[in-house]
Chains A and B, each alone.
Chain A
Amino acid sequence: MGLETAIPTDAILTTQLDRIINWGRRSSLWPMPFATACCGIELMSTASSRYDLARFGAEVMRFSPRQSDLLLVAGRIAVKMMPVLQRIYMQMCEPKWVLSMGACASTGGMFDTYAVVQGVDQFLPVDVYVPGCPPRPEMLLEGIMAIQRIIDEENIPYDGDGKRLPLSIAVSPNYEPRPQPSEITIGAT
């Protein structure tokens, strides 16, 4: 958008093949929402018009793992749910990314019990951890943009055999919580 007006209609644009592939990949991260708890509600909010995930090209929620390349684990995962999550992960095609959204998916959160997985990264390779309970939509966008930056800058880490390693990025909070309780501002200038 905007590019076609900047260059003449009969012009040729030259670029590196890698660049244009990475541009395409980062601009069309299709998420597979694995929403099992309240993080899923925040995920819906992120996708809808106020926060508008579509601005980052990631608005096409694909409920088929074979059509998606970003697994959003949003919510607590019980051990009984693990085979489902792992199967969905394995069905996704490379290049694929995993975003662990919220305290429960990343650490088990407050559900420190016998049935809940204490962090999906024990059993899945996780690329980005988004903290929060649940994270604000801005935080989720920050996490998706972290993946986009990595794709764009070709900073994907590989091991000695050429296999991609998990990114292991933890997003830090991008807003300052106001001191609580805050003053009532109704009627103030």
Chain B
Amino acid sequence: MPQDTPTLDHPTLPLIKAAFEGVKFQATEFRRQTTLIVPADNAHAVLRHLRDDPACDYDFLADVVGIDYLGYPAGSPGRFAVVYLLVSYSHNRRLSVKVFLDPSIDTSGIEPDPALELDSVTDIWPGSEWPEREVYDMFGIRFRNHPDLRRILMWRDFPAHPLRKDYPLRGRGERETYRVVKRDST
């Protein structure tokens, strides 16, 4: 049975705390699933440590996902979050690592925002290439040192990042403005 009282007894948490003294970590727990909240500047080093340290040994990155917390009822430490879902096969453990980001410019366009940047983890887990492209495509969070940061789902000239909460569900007319083929335009 899942326990509702958070215990925060995930075995990895003390290891991370000891390895990164002076870094302010936070952790949450929901139904025995632990999330470690890491400052954006330390994210890459923490993730590398989580894979390389034999006591942690998170050898599998299940997914990288983005979250937009705009209008989140419970409030949030930041507008956007990037979540790394880690799995350790050798220890049979899972850990979510969450990084909060706040935009510095208007989020309705696709202009590069220096505040919405993270170091890519493709050098740690090569499989993160496509999930990071998806986060970039949907949320406009750019990943430094990514080998091929292009849109993965939307077409190249799409003028927005559609999973941002301030983007309307029906779009801003992108689906209506396409060339029309008539019967004789062969």
Q: Is the CB of B183 within 8 A of A115?
A: no
Is B155 within 8 A of A114, CB to CB? Answer: no
Number of interface residues of B (CB under 8 A): 22
Interface centre among A79, A82, A164, A165 (most CB of B within 10 A): A79
Q: Could you tell me which residues of chain A, from 112 to 156, have a CB within 8 Å of some CB in chain B?
A: 112-118, 122-125
Q: Which residues of B contact A113 (CB under 8 A)?
A: 169-171
B9 at the interface (CB under 8 A from A): no
Q: Is the CB of B180 within 8 A of A80?
A: no
Instruction: Flag whether B140 is at the interface (Cβ < 8 A).
Output: no
Are A122 and B180 neighbours in the complex by a CB distance under 8 Å? Answer: yes
Which of A80, A115, A125 makes the CB contact (< 8 A) with B162?
A: A115
B149-186, CB under 8 A of A: which get 1 and which 0?
A: 00000110000101000011111101110111111111
* Residues in B whose Cβ lies below 8 Å from that of A122: 176, 178, 180
**1/0 contact string of A3-22 vs chain B (CB within 8 Å):** 00000000000000000000
Decide yes or no: A125 and B175 within 8 Å by CB, A112-B169, A114-B169 being known contacts. Answer: no
Query: Do B181 and A86 touch across chains, with their CB atoms under 8 A apart?
Result: yes
| B182 to chain A: closest residue by CB | A125
Which of B154, B160, B183, B185 makes the CB contact (< 8 A) with A164? B183
Give Cα A117–Cα B175 distance, bound, in whole angstroms.
6
Binding site for B on A (CB under 8 A): 79-80, 82, 86, 89-90, 112-118, 122-125, 163-166
1/0 contact string of B31-63 vs chain A (CB within 8 Å): 000000000000000000000000000000000
A115 touches B175 (CB 8 A): yes
Q: How far is the CA of A137 from the CA of B58 in the complex (A)?
A: 51
Which residue of A is nearest B173, CB measured? A114
| B92 → chain A closest CB, angstroms | 38
By a CB distance below 8 angstroms, the chain B residues around A115 are: 154, 162, 171, 174-175
Q: A123-B180, A165-B183 are in contact. List 8 more A-B contacts (CB 8 A).
A: A79-B155, A86-B179, A89-B181, A90-B186, A114-B170, A115-B154, A122-B176, A125-B181
B183 touching A125, Cβ below 8 Å? yes
